[in-house]
Structure 1
Amino acid sequence: MALSCVYLAADVYMVCLQHALSTEKEEVMGLLLGEIDSKKVAHISAVVMLRRSDKRKDRVEISPEQLTNAAIQADKLTHELGQPMRVLGWYHSHPHITVWPSHVDVRTQAMYQMMDECFVGIIFSVFTEDKATKVSFNCSYY
């Protein structure tokens, strides 16, 4: 069964946004950690910022080693916090481009959702400005 709702902790949001704003020259990415409750609500409460393995400025790729290390980090947090934690999803930035996912983003998300239908993806569109609203930051999830 798919998720009914996603809660992103304010401090996680701020970390992701600051990471996205750290460079306008290339995309950045990270993994989202948290838990899913019995009502299929995702509670994202931690983040792991990742290094880029693909050097093309408009691509981000999560290596198997990074995913494994994030799972280990989630396990450590489970023991430290006394609550279940796991990798729930990923985020990345779109500097100077639309908030909407590219065909590569859609394919990547579909791959993760084949392993876990509740895997969340968030895009932070930064360094853009909507001429009508003057909003200079957008965020979407899929």
Structure 2
Amino acid sequence: MSAGLQLVAHVAGRGLLFDATRVDSVVDLPPVVPTPGAPATIRGLAALRSRVATVIETHRVLGLPRGSGGGRGVVTMIDGHLYAIAVDTLEDVAGLAIAPPPAGMALEGGWSAVSGIADGENETLLMLDLDRLVALASA
């Protein structure tokens, strides 16, 4: 098990965790400009703090129904590019013990971004690897 600080968020009712050391900021997503030819997992581009960010449709990457709209964003920098990971809600930062996913847990498709699990308040939280999530969204 590993411990550290994680940002707790929800997408389509699923509790997700992001490594707090990888989170640049959290934002209310501004209007997004669609990008022609991009996969459905990319909502488009948005101006964040005078910089352009690619907005990831997290529910689509994970194969979940659209939640409450993905109006919040977890902002991170990967390979010099800014990304906003769309989530429905942002809860808080918590220090949780992260365990590896159980051996029998099916982690196919977008769920291959799950790098661990933790016990939250009345739910199991899934830790997402931001690099893997962005790679899956961009494929």
| Bucket of the pairwise TM-score, normalised by the shorter protein | under 0.3
Query: By percentage of residues, which structure has more strand?
Result: 2
Structure number with the bigger relative contact order (C-alpha 8 A, sep ≥ 6) is 2
TM-score (norm 2): 0.28
TM-score (norm 1): 0.27
Query: By percentage of residues, which structure has more helix?
Result: 1
